[in-house]
């Protein structure tokens, strides 16, 4: 197994001072699966003060729970003292944690068998709960009695579904039954912790496992809108799925495109990827509220884009997302049904100016995913219109056409210095008028021609 040098050094140092030390949890699981671990956690019999005395640079990350971050070069490793969790009071926190000299006790408190293994080069894999067998069979199973383990910390239920998605595993029957029985205890868990798990699930290859959150009753307590979406059928030629199923397929198409780097702007950073999957999940979130059925029995969803913008903002705020993510998701939801039928360059400049040039490739990606997750009715036409819009966008980018006041070759300062304007709202109005002219005819965007055109 290939442990990073820094983790090896920490383990060797601890062991040479008479302590036990192992890598533990997610990194052991990922190593056995040949996946790249997110982080390398170390568990040790040494007390936090002892850990701190052995390494030059340490940070008290969670010292009351026994966790110290040890910095090796510029990489940090969380080193946590073996511990047992005391009695859980409120479905989320142990009342107290106790350090223990016993590795087994430390592994027993962990959530799933596949997350409860430890490893070092000398001892090999320590696997007391058949984690390797569950890894091989693709099973998510609690360590010990699932009812007890979920009762201690309700977040584990959502974590179980998250791992089922990330690893494309099946949840063991008893574990799944316990989620169904205890789903309502999720209300005790903070929005931040829920957001972390939901996000990891949605950007994973098995994002559609979100369906399990609906089936077990869990989603009712963190995303009741999903239940409404799954319960809303769409009887019209464009669709072949319920709103909820359609939306999960959109998320899957987005993930596939990001993974294959098959996106209009190439490699997408993690934050934008997160915003995109939430836009994919929520673009039709208002459809249940906007649904009408005409005399022929065909369903319509007028106004779902505008109401969807509002609802997705509220949902993401509830989940404590940052403002940049909320703003991008709202913009994508609001505009997901924008069409480029009669759009010429001048129309595309206005759209790009209104939404922000950088956001257009994300909108195109969402729209492509949206189309592919619909019925095949008029699919080729829809994709052709989208391609035409993307070509127009490429042209205006290539030509570096101005689409915002900031890109004009004159500024408010020029209006004051050369045209006798006084500072005030008239300047903004005039710059906007000039921008309108430039968006119709980009050749006007020179300082000379714009000064001539100033009123
Ligand atoms: P990731 O790949 O997302 O980092 P992970 O399994 O490493 O997944 P972490 O949240 O980093 O998950 O936690 C590290 C380890 O700590 C887990 O593998 C598990 O052993 C234990 N753990 C984390 N959260 C809990 C929890 N709520 N209840 C019990 N054990 C937990
Ligand atoms: Mg981890």
Q: What is the pLDDT of residues 220-235, one digit of tens each?
A: 999 999 999 999 999 9
Residue 254: its pLDDT value, please?
Answer: 97
Is the predicted pLDDT of residue 136 greater than 80, yes or no?
Answer: yes
165 lines ligand 1 (CB under 6 A): no
Is the predicted pLDDT of residue 187 greater than 80, yes or no?
Answer: yes
Nearest protein CA to atom 21 of ligand 1, as residue: 110
Strand partners, 67: 62, 80
78 lines ligand 1 (CB under 6 A): no
Is the predicted pLDDT of residue 86 greater than 90, yes or no?
Answer: no
Residue 356: its pLDDT value, please?
Answer: 95
Q: Which two tokens stand for residue 109?
A: 């408190």
Can you tell me the distance from the alpha carbon of 101 to that of 46, in angstroms, rounded to the nearest whole number?
8
Can you tell me the distance from the alpha carbon of 165 to that of 301, in angstroms, rounded to the nearest whole number?
31
**Ligand 1 atom at minimal distance to the Cα of residue 152:** 28
* Residue 396, CB-side half-sphere exposure with 13 Å CA sphere: 30
436 lines ligand 1 (CB under 6 A): no
Contacts 24+ apart (CB under 8 A), 314-320: 315/223, 315/225, 315/282, 315/285, 316/278, 318/191, 319/191, 319/194, 319/195, 319/198, 319/222, 320/191, 320/192, 320/195
CA of 115 to the centre of ligand 1 (A): 7
CA of 127 to the centre of ligand 1 (A): 16
392 lines ligand 1 (CB under 6 A): no
Q: Which two tokens stand for residue 384?
A: 């052709």
Residue 356, sorted as left (phi over 0), alpha (psi -120 to 50) or beta, turns out to be: left
**Ligand 1 atom at minimal distance to the Cα of residue 37:** 2
Comparing 405 with 1, which gets the higher pLDDT? 405
Provide mean pLDDT across the span 397-406: 96
Provide mean pLDDT across the span 192-213: 98
Nearest protein CA to atom 3 of ligand 1, as residue: 38
Q: CA gyration radius for the chain?
A: 27
Q: Which helix (H) or strand (E) holds 316?
A: helix 304-318
Nearest protein CA to atom 12 of ligand 1, as residue: 26
Provide mean pLDDT across the span 146-162: 97
35 lines ligand 1 (CB under 6 A): no
Burial class (CB in 10 A: 0-12, 13-18, 19+), 345: middle
- Angle at 359 (CA atoms; ends 355, 361), nearest 5 degrees: 125
Residue 341: its pLDDT value, please?
Answer: 78
Going from the C-alpha of 435 to that of each of 82, 128, 355, 411, the distances in angstroms are 64, 69, 15, 11
CA of 27 to the centre of ligand 1 (A): 9
- Cα 115 versus chain centre, distance: 22
From first CA to last CA, the distance across the chain in angstroms is: 73
Is the predicted pLDDT of residue 411 greater than 80, yes or no?
Answer: yes
Question: Cβ distance 110 to 25 under 8 Å?
Answer: yes
20 lines ligand 1 (CB under 6 A): no
Is the predicted pLDDT of residue 261 greater than 90, yes or no?
Answer: no
DSSP characters over 201-213: HHTSTTGGGHHHH
Provide mean pLDDT across the span 111-134: 97
Provide mean pLDDT across the span 34-50: 96
Report pLDDT digits (tens) over 319-367: 999 999 999 999 999 999 999 877 889 999 999 999 999 999 999 999 9
CA of 288 to the centre of ligand 1 (A): 36
Q: By percentage, how much of the chain surpasses pLDDT 90?
A: 93
DSSP characters over 360-394: HHHHHHHHHHHHHTS-STTHHHHHHHHHHHHHHHH
Question: Cβ distance 401 to 349 under 8 Å?
Answer: yes
Provide mean pLDDT across the span 441-455: 95
Q: Which two tokens stand for residue 265?
A: 């702007």
CA of 316 to the centre of ligand 1 (A): 24
Of the listed ligands, the closest to the CA of 28 is 1
Is the predicted pLDDT of residue 290 greater than 80, yes or no?
Answer: yes
CA of 198 to the centre of ligand 1 (A): 14
155 lines ligand 1 (CB under 6 A): yes
39 lines ligand 1 (CB under 6 A): yes
Residue 212: its pLDDT value, please?
Answer: 98
Mean of per-residue pLDDT scores for the chain: 96
- Angle between helix 155-167 and 173-182 (nearest 10): 140
Substitution site in 25, 30, 167, 186 for ligand 1 pocket (most atoms within 8 Å of beta carbon): 25
Provide mean pLDDT across the span 264-271: 88
Residue 265: its pLDDT value, please?
Answer: 81
């Amino acid at each position: 197994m290939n442990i990073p040098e820094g983790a090896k050094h920490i383990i060797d140092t601890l062991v040479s001072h008479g302590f036990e030390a192992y890598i533990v949890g997610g990194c052991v699981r990922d190593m056995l699966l040949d996946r790249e671990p997110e982080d390398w956690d170390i568990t040790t019999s040494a007390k936090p003060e002892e850990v701190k005395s052995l390494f030059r640079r340490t940070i008290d990350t969670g010292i009351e729970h026994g966790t110290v971050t040890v910095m090796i070069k510029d990489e940090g490793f969380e080193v946590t003292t073996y511990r047992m969790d005391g009695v859980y009071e409120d479905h989320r926190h142990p009342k107290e944690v106790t350090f223990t000299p016993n590795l087994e006790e430390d592994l027993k408190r962990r959530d799933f068998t596949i997350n409860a293994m430890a490893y070092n080069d000398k001892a090999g894999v320590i696997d007391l709960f058949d984690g390797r067998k569950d890894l091989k069979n693709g099973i998510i199973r609690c360590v010990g009695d699932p009812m007890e383990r979920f009762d201690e910390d309700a977040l584990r239920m959502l974590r179980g579904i998250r791992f089922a998605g990330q690893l494309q595993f099946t949840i063991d029957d008893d574990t799944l039954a316990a989620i169904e029985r205890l789903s309502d205890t999720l209300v005790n868990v903070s929005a931040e912790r829920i957001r972390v798990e939901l996000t990891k699930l949605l950007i994973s290859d098995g994002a559609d496992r979100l369906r399990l959150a609906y089936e077990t009753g869990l989603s009712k307590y963190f995303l009741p809108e999903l239940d409404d979406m799954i319960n809303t059928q769409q009887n019209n030629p464009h669709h072949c799925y319920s709103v909820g199923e359609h939306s999960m397929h959109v998320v899957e198409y987005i993930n596939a495109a990001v993974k294959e780097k098959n996106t209009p702007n190439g490699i997408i950073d993690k934050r934008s990827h997160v915003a995109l999957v939430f836009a994919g999940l929520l673009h039709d979130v208002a459809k249940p509220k906007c649904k009408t059925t005409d005399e022929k029995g065909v369903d319509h969803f007028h106004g779902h884009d505008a109401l969807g913008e509002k609802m997705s903002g509220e949902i993401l705020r509830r989940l404590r997302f940052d403002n940049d993510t909320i703003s991008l998701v709202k913009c994508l939801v609001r505009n997901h049904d924008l069409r480029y039928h009669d759009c010429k360059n001048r129309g595309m400049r206005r759209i790009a100016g209104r939404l922000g040039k950088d956001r257009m490739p994300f909108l195109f990606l969402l729209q492509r995913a949206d189309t592919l997750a619909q019925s095949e009715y008029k699919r080729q036409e829809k994709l052709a219109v989208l391609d035409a819009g993307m070509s127009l966008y490429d042209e205006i980018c290539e030509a570096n056409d101005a689409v915002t006041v900031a890109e004009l070759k004159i500024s408010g300062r020029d209006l004051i210095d050369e045209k006798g304007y006084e500072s005030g709202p008239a300047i903004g109005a005039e710059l906007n008028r000039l921008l309108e002219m430039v968006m119709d005819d980009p050749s006007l965007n020179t300082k000379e021609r714009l000064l001539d055109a100033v009123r």
